[in-house]
């Protein structure tokens, strides 16, 4: 059976290759969409993940950062600092708005830092300083590339011009690129004083962040406190609704196309062998062995297609990332396995339709044509 | 020639239908991707033009309505109304808030209006007239199962849903519409701010011109007289927001659409190859009967184009149906999958795909040995 299946696949190598290419093309489409989805999902929470906080403290009723508005009187941070188990706390002011540089506009998180910041500033730099001074800003390197900016160039936030003093790495995403300025500059922009948006709390060694968050909520009035991992989950959940959900929907549509095309390819492949399979049946092959052969061929083509698509994706994605820097692509092993499993299931189902027809064929019909 | 093509297509109607369906699916996916892009951009433009202003005043330095924070001093309204040609400057305030129910959270862009700038299309209920009334977008109502008359708690302030609006969302964010009378109560009663001065009381002015006033001239006069604000024609501000949308979503959506096109070309070629490859025997017979390679190649090309011509309208219909289904289940999104320009672009691309896709089978026919027919 194995030998016959293998021979069947090699009997018409061009047709088999075309089947692999067709299914591989469909899988490649889904892999690209998955890679965009994964890349953006990860990048969208890059800031809250990298900020050095065990617990985030914010205005009551707020539970995340993306598109949220949170304001606390800064004296509440002094109360937080006094809670047992708190090693340190740093406040940031935060605004999401549109920034401009030359003709380029972008939606951004503006983070106002109490400089020198040890917990909330950029965590990787491409060039320049990571701590902005008055009238200065640190912008994502990707934005700088897009807008063709150099260190020392201006960037406009609302009606104020800032001088760029640093390019940060991994702070850019479709939904929330992070720009760092000083807290006092952001206070001027927002016409606010003695206000912070979030408190980033560092816990003393051995203190459980969840326990500490509960203690902070008990000790300080009208604040919510969340362990960092929960805050990241909340932020990702919110961000997913805004844009990333679109990519997920596109992935689903691409996946539906892939399912249809894989089914079409496998159906065509098995249909082409209908006569040979009927002959095999006439020669004594059981229905079970015919089903097994058809199933093995479908699985073999699918696995080969996934391998081809994965190799192509790995080759093309770095090129695509280089050509389109704003887009973050990340192909995970889990995504490949998911695509392979779904593809195999669809292929087996698609192969079953002609196989069932063959199983019902009168073996004599093989000799009637 | 046409008769031969016709017979080739009808001889195995299941295969022809499958091939046309596969091509239509490729067309539909590309149109849906294009439709997402068009819809996102259109929502951003409509969010501005739906405010029904002759001119819009923003904070100086702010050239967007959605996604930008604009704060105008209160006295700006008086200054703008003092400019000759201005009948009324209607105030509008935009506040980003988050609506939470259990584990679910949704950002809302709360538009607080007085006499203009409210919801344009109501799907149910009425505009906000009573204290604490709010009109919400259909997507928010659908997501949380909200109906008119239901309470809506935002930051500990209880609104009552008086109406449900259609098409009041942009930037992946549903809008809520409340009246100015409730704004101060909202700020004081809710926990939105420790310091009320942090929140805007006035974001935009929707300028209504006096009869006969010239928009450009009045805009220039406001620009000169009111230094705290910038003035835009609504269509220009809409274009600014649309341009921002293209910059923000463009790279990702264009990449996905581009990948869709490239893979569409490949798949069309492969689908047509499979369709011809399955009939090599018939083509061998035709070659043995004296049909020239050129004749058969042209027949394959015509067949491919005929399949594409069938697939295009089916694909457009499929895209429209899928788009409607997505809009019905996820009203936050608008899918403009049947816009003339993307449809024309995709149709031309599909015909080009088909012509390119026919090249592979043509090579196959060229190499076909007519003697093979008699050996089988």
CB contact under 8 Å between B21 and A260, yes or no, is yes
Residue A1 pLDDT:
61
| Residue of chain B minimizing CA distance to A244 | B172
Residue B256: which of A36, A59, A158 has the nearest Cβ? A36
Q: Which of A182, A180, A225 is nearest to A207 (CA)?
A: A225
Could you report the per-residue pLDDT of A2-47, keeping only the tens digit for each?
676 777 777 778 778 877 887 888 788 888 888 888 888 788 889 9
Return the pLDDT at A258: 72
Pairing mode, strands B133-137 and B157-165: parallel
Measured between alpha carbons, how far is A122 from A170 in angstroms, rounded to an integer?
9
| Confidence (pTM) | 0.79
Query: Between A98, A241, A260, which is nearest B25 by CB?
Result: A260
Residues 6+ apart with CB under 8 A from B270: A18, A21, A22, A25, A265, B357, B360
Q: What is residue B373's predicted lDDT score, i.e. its pLDDT?
A: 59
Q: Which residues on chain B are in Cβ contact (under 8 Å) with A25?
A: 263, 266-267, 270
For residue A245, is pLDDT > 70? Answer: no
- Among the partner residues A18, A36, A67, nearest to B273 by beta-carbon distance: A18
Answer yes or no: are the C-beta atoms of A126 and A220 closer than 8 Å: no
Most A CBs within 10 Å, among B21, B252, B271, B356, to test the A interface: B252
CB nearest A191 (choices: B194, B197, B251):
B197
- With CA atoms as reference, report the closest residue to B62 among B216, B202, B250: B202
**According to the model, what pLDDT value does residue B87 have?**
96
Number of residues in chain A: 369
> How many residues are there in chain B?
376
Which of B171, B254, B263 lies at the smallest CB-CB distance from A28?
B263
Region of poorest pLDDT, from A55-59, A148-152, B194-198, B215-219: B194-198
Record: contact B248-A60, CB cut-off 8 A: no
**Does B25 sit within 8 Å of A257, measured CB to CB?**
yes
Which residues of chain B make contact with A72, given a CB cutoff of 8 A? 194
- From chain A, the residues in CB contact with B271 under 8 A are 22, 261, 264
User: Do the beta carbons of residue A169 and residue A99 sit within 8 Å?
Assistant: no
Q: Which chain B residues are Cβ-neighbours of A183 within 8 angstroms?
A: none
CB of A89 within 8 A of CB of A79? no
Contact between residue B322 and residue A253 where contact means Cβ atoms under 8 Å apart: yes
**Of A152 and B355, which is predicted with more confidence?**
A152
Which pLDDT value is given to residue A132? 96
Q: How far is CA B173 from the centre of its chain?
A: 13
What does the pLDDT read at residue B50? 95
Does A241 score more than 70 pLDDT? no
Confirm or reject contact between B274 and chain A (CB < 8 A).
Answer: yes
Predicted confidence (pLDDT) per residue in A215-231, tens digit: 999 999 888 999 999 99
- Beta-strand relationship, B151-154 and B204-209: unpaired
Residue B333 in contact with partner chain A when CB distance is under 8 A: yes
Size of interface A-B (CB pairs under 8 A): 199
Query: What number is the average pLDDT over the span A49-56?
Result: 95
B368 CB contacts (<8 Å, ≥6 apart)?
B280, B283, B284, B287
Substitution target from B40, B68, B194 for chain A, most A beta carbons within 10 A: B194
Contacts of A194 in chain B (CB under 8 A): 195
The pLDDT tens digits of the residues spanning A86-105 come to: 999 999 999 888 888 877 78
Looking at CA atoms only, how far is residue B292 from chain A in angstroms? Answer: 24
Q: What is the ipTM, given to two decimal places?
A: 0.71
| Cross-chain residue pair A29–B260, CB shorter than 8 Å | yes
Per-residue pLDDT of chain B (376 residues; tens, 9 = 90+): 777 778 777 777 777 887 788 788 888 988 988 898 899 899 999 999 999 999 999 998 888 898 788 889 889 999 999 999 999 999 999 988 888 887 788 889 999 999 999 999 999 999 999 989 999 999 999 989 999 999 998 877 899 999 999 999 998 889 999 998 888 888 777 655 555 566 678 999 999 999 999 999 999 999 999 999 999 999 999 999 998 888 877 777 788 788 778 777 777 777 777 777 777 777 778 888 888 888 888 888 888 888 889 999 999 999 999 999 988 888 888 999 999 998 999 899 888 888 887 777 777 777 777 666 565 4
- Whether B33 sits inside 8 A of A253 (CB atoms) is yes
HSE (CB half, 13 Å, CA atoms) of A93?
Answer: 23
B252/A247 touch (CB, cutoff 8 Å), yes or no = yes
Mind telling me how many Å the CA of B64 is from chain A's nearest CA? 8
What HEC string does chain B produce?
CHHHHHHHHHHCHHHHHHHHHHHHHHHHHHHHHHHHHHHHHHHHHHHHHCCCCCEEEEECCCCCCCCCCCCCCCCHHHHHHCCCCEEEEEEEEEEEEEEEECCEEEEEEEEEECCCCCCCCEEEECCCCCCCEEEEEHHHHHHHCCCCCCEEEECCEEEEEEEEECCCEECCEEEEEEEHHHHHHHHHHCCCCCCHHHCCCCCEEEEEECCCCCHHHHHHHHHHHCCCEEEECHHHHHHHHHHHHHHHHHHHHHHHHHHHHHHHHHHHHHHHHHHHHCCHHHHHHHHHCCCCHHHHHHHHHHHHHHHHHHHHHHHHHHHHHHHHHHHHHCCCCCCCCCCHHHHHHHHHHHHHHHHHHHHHHHHHHHHCCCHHHHHC
Q: Which chain B residue is nearest to residue A243, measuring alpha carbons?
A: B172
Contacts of B40 in chain A (CB under 8 A): 246
Of A159, A234, A250, the CB nearest to B256: A250
Beta-sheet pairing, A177-182 with A223-227: unpaired
Verify cis geometry, omega within 30 degrees of 0, for the bond prior to B59: no
Question: For residue A202, which of A82, A49, A78, A88 has the smallest C-alpha distance?
Answer: A88
pLDDT at residue B141 in the model: 95
3-state secondary structure of A101: strand
């Amino acid at each position: 059976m194995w030998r016959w299946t293998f021979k069947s696949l090699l009997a018409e190598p061009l047709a088999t290759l075309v089947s692999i290419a067709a299914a591989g093309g469909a899988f490649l489409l889904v892999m690209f969409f998955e890679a965009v989805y994964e890349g953006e999902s990860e990048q969208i929470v890059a800031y809250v993940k990298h900020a050095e906080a065990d617990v985030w403290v914010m205005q009551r009723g707020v539970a995340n950062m993306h598109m949220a508005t949170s304001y606390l009187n800064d004296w509440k941070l002094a109360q937080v600092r006094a809670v047992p188990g708190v090693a340190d706390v740093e406040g940031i002011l935060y605004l999401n708005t549109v920034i401009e540089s030359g003709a380029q506009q972008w939606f951004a998180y503006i983070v106002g830092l109490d400089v020198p910041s040890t917990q909330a500033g950029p965590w990787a730099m491409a060039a320049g300083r990571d701590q902005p001074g008055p009238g200065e800003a640190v912008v994502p390197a990707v934005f700088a590339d897009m807008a063709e900016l150099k260190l020392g160039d201006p960037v406009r936030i609302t009606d104020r011009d800032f001088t760029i003093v640093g390019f940060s790495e991994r702070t850019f995403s479709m939904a929330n690129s992070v720009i760092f300025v000083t807290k006092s500059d952001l206070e001027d922009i927002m016409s606010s004083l003695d206000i912070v948006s979030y408190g980033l709390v560092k816990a003393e060694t051995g203190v459980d962040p969840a326990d500490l968050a509960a203690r902070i909520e008990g000790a300080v009035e009208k604040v919510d406190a969340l362990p960092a991992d929960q805050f990241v989950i909340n932020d990702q959940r919110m961000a997913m609704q805004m844009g990333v959900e679109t990519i997920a929907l596109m992935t689903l549509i691409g996946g539906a196309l892939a399912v249809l095309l894989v089914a079409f390819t496998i159906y065509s492949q098995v249909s082409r062998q209908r006569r040979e399979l009927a002959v095999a049946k006439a020669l004594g092959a059981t229905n079970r062995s015919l089903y097994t052969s058809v199933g093995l061929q479908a699985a073999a083509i699918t696995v080969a297609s996934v391998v081809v698509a994965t190799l192509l994706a790995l080759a093309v994605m770095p090129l695509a990332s280089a050509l389109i820097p704003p887009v973050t692509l990340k192909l995970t092993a889990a995504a490949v396995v998911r695509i392979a499993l779904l593809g195999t299931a669809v292929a087996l189902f698609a192969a079953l339709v002609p196989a069932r027809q063959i199983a019902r064929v009168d073996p004599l019909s093989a000799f009637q044509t | 020639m046409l008769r031969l093509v016709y017979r080739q297509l009808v001889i195995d109607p299941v295969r022809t239908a499958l091939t046309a369906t596969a091509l239509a699916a490729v067309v539909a996916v590309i149109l849906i991707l294009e439709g997402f892009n068009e819809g996102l951009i259109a929502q951003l433009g409509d969010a501005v033009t739906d405010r029904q202003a002759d001119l819009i005043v923003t904070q100086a330095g702010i050239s967007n309505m959605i996604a930008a924070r604009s704060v105008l001093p209160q006295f700006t309204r008086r200054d703008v109304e003092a400019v000759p040609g201005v009948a009324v400057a209607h105030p509008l305030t935009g506040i980003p808030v988050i609506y939470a129910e259990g584990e679910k959270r949704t950002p809302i862009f709360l538009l607080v209006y007085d006499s203009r700038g409210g919801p344009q299309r109501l799907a149910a209920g009425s505009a906000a007239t009573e204290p604490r009334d709010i009109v919400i977008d259909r997507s928010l109502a659908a997501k949380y199962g909200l109906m008119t008359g239901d309470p809506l708690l935002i930051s500990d302030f209880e609104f009552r849903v008086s109406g449900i609006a259609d098409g009041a969302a942009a930037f992946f964010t549903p809008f809520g519409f409340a009246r100015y009378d409730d704004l101060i109560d909202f700020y004081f009663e809710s926990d939105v701010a420790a310091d009320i001065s942090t929140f805007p009381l006035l974001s935009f002015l929707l300028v209504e011109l006096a009869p006969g006033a010239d928009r450009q001239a009045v805009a220039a006069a406001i620009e000169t007289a009111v230094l705290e604000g910038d003035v835009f024609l609504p269509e220009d501000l809409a274009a600014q927001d649309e341009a921002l949308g293209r910059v923000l979503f463009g790279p990702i959506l264009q990449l996905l659409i581009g990948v869709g096109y490239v893979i569409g070309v490949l798949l069309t070629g492969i689908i047509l190859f499979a369709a011809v490859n399955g009939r090599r025997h018939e083509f061998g017979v035709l070659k043995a009967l004296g049909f020239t390679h050129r004749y058969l190649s042209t027949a394959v090309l015509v067949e491919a184009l005929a399949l594409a011509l069938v697939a295009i309208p089916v694909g457009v219909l499929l895209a429209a149906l899928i788009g409607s289904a997505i809009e019905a289940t996820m009203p936050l999104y608008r899918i403009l999958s049947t816009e003339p320009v993307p449809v024309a672009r995709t149709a031309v691309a599909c015909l080009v795909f088909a012509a390119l896709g026919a090249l592979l089978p043509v090579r196959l026919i060229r190499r076909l040995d007519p003697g093979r027919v008699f050996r089988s």
